[in-house]
Chain A
Amino acid sequence: MTTKRIRPKIARGSAELAILALLAEQSLYGFEISKCIDERSGGALHFTLASLYPMLYDLEKRGWIAGRWQSNEAGRDRRYYCLTPDGKKALAPLRREWNVFFHALDRLAGVTNA
């Protein structure tokens, strides 16, 4: 079964949760974040530079993530993002919200067995 890429309109809503969930595990820079999301979602979710960075800056403004320049393993400078304590607090309710959302959508539109 091939995974069809999710349309940007739908994918955009999930970006917040996807980014926070990834950064809860480790610090990553922008390109790594987009690669990880792409790989872990089996290609269903794909964030371009244009969709990723405004979301990263917005999360940073809200104090949920923090970015700082560091050298990566190859000695090249990248801006790494990590989850802040506020971001950790925000992640659990966000996961619950999406859980409620999926259940509601499933009841409404029967998406599980589609």
Chain B
Amino acid sequence: MTSTGFSKAPIAVLAPDSEEPGEPNQPGGSRLIPWAGRRRSNSLLESDRSIISSAERKQPGVRRSLRFVHAFLAISLVVVGLGPILWLAKSAVTTTQDTLQHPFALWPSGVDWANLSQAWNDIHIDQYFFNTVIVAAGAWAFQLTIATTGAYTLSILRPRYAGVINSMVLATLFIPAVVLLVPLYLTIVNPPLLGRDYSLLNNYLAVWLPMAANAFNILLVKRFFDNLPRDVIEAARTDGAGPFRLFWSVVLPMSKPILGVVSVFAIIAAWKDFLWPMLVLPDPARQPLSVRLPAVASQTELDVFLAALAIATIIPVVMFLMFQRVFLRSAGLGGAVKG
């Protein structure tokens, strides 16, 4: 349940059986991108032709306009997309006075590297950073476990009760996240079945488990499993593979693309989450960066604070640059399922 990330678009109206673009049942990894089959290309970004035809591209007016579009895109995207990150990187190693007086000047009184070490050590960004990693790693492990075992049950084992569970899981997609906030909080404060005095507050399970109840993940992985070649699965069964063997040695190895997508979703969602960890991890020593940064803002000097913000941004940005294709494909995929 990523429902506690309120800034994110809720997938409440995601229509599970809406028609998908492209041909269904494409074998292989490209099935993941429904439109890939038509294009003979795995890339999200390539196309045979677009709105403007090759003939039109040769007209001088069109060429001039396209050159203008190029320049506009380059400038606006660099300024708007990259600009704030560059400014943050610069200001992280600039003195407070310089940032306040001349926000766009490049180090008028020298580079102040000490900000980074001060942020890391003095305001304990190291610890919060570590907490964030724990939150993200646990959320990833739980989400992947639930999504794969759940989808395996619903898609391949298919017991009699699969239909009921499937519709009950999908139904949660239609519930706006806000409904869950308070009752889920009380569930964490006083979990059922565990007795009056037991509480999951300040326990990382309070973040991991609700995130694992993510119907969107189950839907994605189930659709992928539904399209795995049945003959391979039947052959493995004939060869005597039990359900565990089939899961571990046949189904999972064939599902790496979708596992990558779910992993990206899981880690990014956990890294971003704010309200939920703030509620269920009241102990500052256990809180992740996203919760601590607003809390320390007022008592921290501006230059050190900007260094802390920069540190908190590095990992997601580096991850994005390393796994760009997976990220962009996941983002497009989310749209394809929604559409």
| A and B from one complex | no
Binding site for A on B (CB under 8 A): none
Binding site for B on A (CB under 8 A): none
